[in-house]
C-alpha cells in the first residue's frame, strides 16, 4: 500500500498514532529516496515533540531492521552476548570487556562506532594501534568469533541501512535527543546483528547524551522492551557519567589504560564497570560459573586481547603513539577535589583533536586529557590536576577555555554510585 509523506507527517504532528502500514512505508520509501530528507526531518521533529507508543517504536525498529540484512550466530560453538554504551567521556570499557567475556566462554560480536562531538568512539581508539583495521567482511567476523571469541569492528553497510541514513539526518536537524529514535537506532542494529544476549550501558550525567535520570531510565526501559520483544535477552545498567571514566580521555591514552586493566591493574572505576558488565553479559548468555574478575587477574583476558588485535592486523606489542605537545593544568588551591565535569573534559579532548565535528573529519590518535586526580581525592595547591596532550600547541587555548569551570576544590565530596540502577524486562 502506498501512503503520502505529508499525511504521515501530519498524523504525528497532530499527536496521532502512526499505523504499521504508515511506518513500514515511510522507512522503506526514505531508504529508497522516495521520501525527501526535508520530509523525514519534519517527521523526526514531530516524533521528538510528540513521542511514540511502545507499539510504534517496536514497529519503527522492525522496519529499520527489515531495510537490510540480518546476521546469525547459531552455528557458533558458544553463546553470544554484546554490549552497547550510549556514550560518554573516557568510556573505554569495550576494549577490556570484549576479550574478558570471551575469556569466560561467551563469544562477543562487538559492532562499534566512531566518536562524534565530545563522546569518544571505540574504533577511533583501536585505530591508534599500528596496523589494526576496523572493517571486516561477514566471513572474517565469523571466523574470528569462532577462533578468538571476540571481535570489535565496524558494522557493515548491510545492517539497518535505514538507520545509517536517518542517523546522519538527525545529527544535523536537532532531533538526536528523541528517545524513540535513539532507542530504535541502537536496537535496530543490535537486533539485526543477531546476538543472543545484550547488555546496555545507559549513561546519565553531564558527559552523557542523557543528562536527566528520568530520561535515561525511559530510554533504558524502551530499549530493554524492544530487545525482549525481539527475542533477545536484554538488560540495562544506568551508570554515572558526571565524571570521566578512568584517568584518560583520548584515543591512544585510553588504549594504554585499557591495557593496564587487562594486566590486572588500572583505575578502580574502569575495573568495577568492566567486571559488572561482564557479569551481566555472562548471566544473560547463561554462563554463571565463571568469575570475570579472576580472568582479569590471571592474564587470560589479556591473552584473548592480543589474539583479537593480531587477528585484525594490529601489532599487540607495538608502541602506542605519544603526543609531542603537553600542557599541565595545576590545582589553584588545596582541599578535596569535589567536582571534575565530564562534559568539559570531553569537549577539551575534542578540541585537542581526539574527536570530530563531522563524521568525515580525521582524529588524532595522541590527543586527549590525562587526569591526575579524581573527585574525592585530596589535592594541594600547585600539584598537577590534568595534562593536555596534542599534536599542535595552538589547540591548548580553546581546550583550556572549555575547562575554565570544570574543576571545584572544596572541603568534602558526595560520592555517587557508579552503577545507579539495573533495568530488566
Q: Do 264 and 189 reside in the same domain of the chain?
A: yes
Measured CA to CA, the distance from residue 271 to residue 248 in angstroms comes to: 14
What is the reported pLDDT for 362?
Answer: 85
Question: b/e for 266-282, b at 16 or more Cβ within 10 A?
Answer: bbebbbbbbbbbbbbbb
Q: Is residue 421 part of a domain?
A: no
Q: Is residue 23 part of a domain?
A: yes
Q: Do 175 and 277 reside in the same domain of the chain?
A: yes
Measured CA to CA, the distance from residue 118 to residue 103 in angstroms comes to: 31
What is the reported pLDDT for 359?
Answer: 67
Q: Is residue 405 part of a domain?
A: yes
Contact call for residues 292 and 278 (beta carbons, < 8 A)? yes
Measured CA to CA, the distance from residue 239 to residue 420 in angstroms comes to: 5
- Of 263, 287, 317, the last residue of a domain is 317
Q: Is residue 139 part of a domain?
A: yes
**What is the CATH number for 329?**
3.90.1170.30
Question: Got the DSSP string for 62-130?
Answer: HHHHHTS-----TTSSS-BEEEEE---SS--THHHHHHHHHHTT-BEEEEE---BTTB--HHHHHTTST
| Domain span holding position 9 | 5-51
Q: Is residue 73 part of a domain?
A: no
Q: Is residue 425 part of a domain?
A: no
Q: Do 214 and 106 reside in the same domain of the chain?
A: yes
For residue 354, count other CB atoms closer than 10 A to its CB.
Answer: 32
Q: Do 46 and 86 reside in the same domain of the chain?
A: no
Q: Is residue 335 part of a domain?
A: yes
Q: Do 106 and 212 reside in the same domain of the chain?
A: yes
Q: Do 246 and 362 reside in the same domain of the chain?
A: no
What pairing do the DSSP bridges indicate for beta strands 197-204 and 233-240?
Answer: parallel
Burial environment of residue 72 by CB neighbours within 10 A (0 to 12, 13 to 18, 19 or more): exposed
Q: Do 349 and 313 reside in the same domain of the chain?
A: no
Contact call for residues 271 and 419 (beta carbons, < 8 A)? no
- Of 317, 336, 363, the last residue of a domain is 317
Catalytic positions are 84, 163, 170, 185, 189
Q: To which residue does cell 583476558 refer?
A: 301
- Averages of pLDDT over runs of 10 residues in the chain (425 residues) are 91 97 97 96 97 96 95 92 94 97 97 78 95 94 96 89 89 86 94 95 94 95 95 97 97 98 97 98 96 96 98 97 98 97 96 82 93 97 98 97 97 93 96
- Of 286, 317, 348, the last residue of a domain is 317
Count of domains in the chain?
3
**What is the CATH number for 109?**
3.40.1030.10
What pairing do the DSSP bridges indicate for beta strands 384-390 and 368-371?
Answer: antiparallel
**What is the CATH number for 36?**
1.20.970.10
What is the reported pLDDT for 172?
Answer: 81
Question: Got the DSSP string for 159-210?
Answer: S-HHHHHHHHHHHTTT-TT-HHHHHHHHHHHHHHHT-SEEEEEEEESTTSS-
Q: Do 308 and 346 reside in the same domain of the chain?
A: no
Measured CA to CA, the distance from residue 355 to residue 346 in angstroms comes to: 9
What is the reported pLDDT for 393?
Answer: 97
Q: Do 38 and 120 reside in the same domain of the chain?
A: no
Q: Do 130 and 42 reside in the same domain of the chain?
A: no
Q: Do 147 and 273 reside in the same domain of the chain?
A: yes
Q: Do 21 and 128 reside in the same domain of the chain?
A: no
- In sequence order, what are the residues at sequence separation of 6 or more whose Cβ sits closer than 8 angstroms to the Cβ of residue 16? none
Q: Is residue 117 part of a domain?
A: yes
What is the reported pLDDT for 118?
Answer: 76
Amino acid at each position: 500500500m502506498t501512503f503520502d509523506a505529508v499525511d504521515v507527517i501530519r498524523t504525528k504532528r497532530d499527536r496521532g498514532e502512526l499505523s504499521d502500514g504508515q511506518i513500514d512505508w515511510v522507512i522503506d520509501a526514505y531508504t529508497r529516496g522516495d521520501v525527501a530528507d526535508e520530509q523525514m526531518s519534519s517527521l523526526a521533529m514531530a516524533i521528538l515533540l510528540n513521542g511514540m507508543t511502545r507499539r510504534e517504536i517496536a514497529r519503527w525498529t522492525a522496519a529499520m531492521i527489515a531495510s537490510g540484512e540480518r546476521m546469525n550466530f547459531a552455528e557458533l560453538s558458544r553463546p553470544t552476548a554484546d554490549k552497547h554504551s550510549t556514550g560518554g567521556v573516557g568510556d573505554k570499557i569495550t576494549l577490556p570487556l570484549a576479550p574478558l567475556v570471551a575469556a569466560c566462554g561467551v563469544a562477543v560480536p562487538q559492532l562499534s562506532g566512531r566518536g562524534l562531538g565530545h563522546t569518544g568512539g571505540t574504533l577511533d581508539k583501536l585505530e591508534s594501534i599500528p596496523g589494526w583495521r576496523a572493517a571486516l567482511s561477514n566471513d572474517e567476523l565469523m571466523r574470528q568469533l569462532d577462533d578468538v571469541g571476540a571481535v570489535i569492528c565496524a558494522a557493515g553497510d548491510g545492517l539497518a541501512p535505514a538507520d545509517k541514513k536517518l542517523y546522519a539526518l538527525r545529527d544535523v536537524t536537532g532531533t538526536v535527543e528523541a528517545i524513540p529514535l535513539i532507542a530504535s537506532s541502537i536496537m535496530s542494529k543490535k537486533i539485526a546483528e543477531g546476538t543472543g544476549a545484550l547488555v546496555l550501558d545507559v549513561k546519565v550525567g553531564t558527559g552523557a547524551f542523557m543528562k536527566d535520570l528520568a530520561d535515561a531510565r525511559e530510554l533504558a526501559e524502551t530499549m530493554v522492551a524492544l530487545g525482549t520483544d525481539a527475542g533477545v535477552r536484554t538488560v540495562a545498567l544506568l551508570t554515572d557519567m558526571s565524571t570521566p571514566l578512568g584517568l584518560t580521555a583520548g584515543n591512544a591514552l585510553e588504549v594504554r589504560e585499557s591495557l593496564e586493566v587487562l594486566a590486572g591493574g588500572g583505575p578502580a572505576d574502569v575495573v568495577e564497570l568492566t567486571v559488572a558488565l561482564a557479569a551481566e553479559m555472562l548471566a544473560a548468555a547463561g554462563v554463571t560459573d565463571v568469575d570475570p574478575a579472576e580472568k582479569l587477574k590471571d592474564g587470560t583476558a589479556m591473552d584473548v586481547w592480543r589474539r583479537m588485535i593480531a587477528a585484525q592486523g594490529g601489532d599487540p606489542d607495538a608502541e602506542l603513539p605519544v603526543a609531542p605537545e603537553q600542557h599541565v593544568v595545576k590545582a589553584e588551591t588545596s582541599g578535596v577535589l569535589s567536582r571534575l565535569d565530564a562534559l568539559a573534559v570531553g569537549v577539551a579532548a575534542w578540541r585537542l583533536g581526539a574527536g570530530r565535528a563531522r563524521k568525515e573529519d580525521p582524529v588524532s590518535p595522541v590527543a586527549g586529557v590525562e587526569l591526575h586526580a579524581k573527585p574525592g581525592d585530596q589535592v594541594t595547591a600547585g600539584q598537577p590536576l590534568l595534562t593536555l596532550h596534542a599534536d599542535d600547541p595552538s589547540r591548548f587555548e580553546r581546550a583550556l577555555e572549555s575547562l575554565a569551570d570544570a574543576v571545584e576544590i572544596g572541603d568534602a565530596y558526595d560520592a555517587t554510585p557508579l552503577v545507579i540502577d539495573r533495568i530488566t524486562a
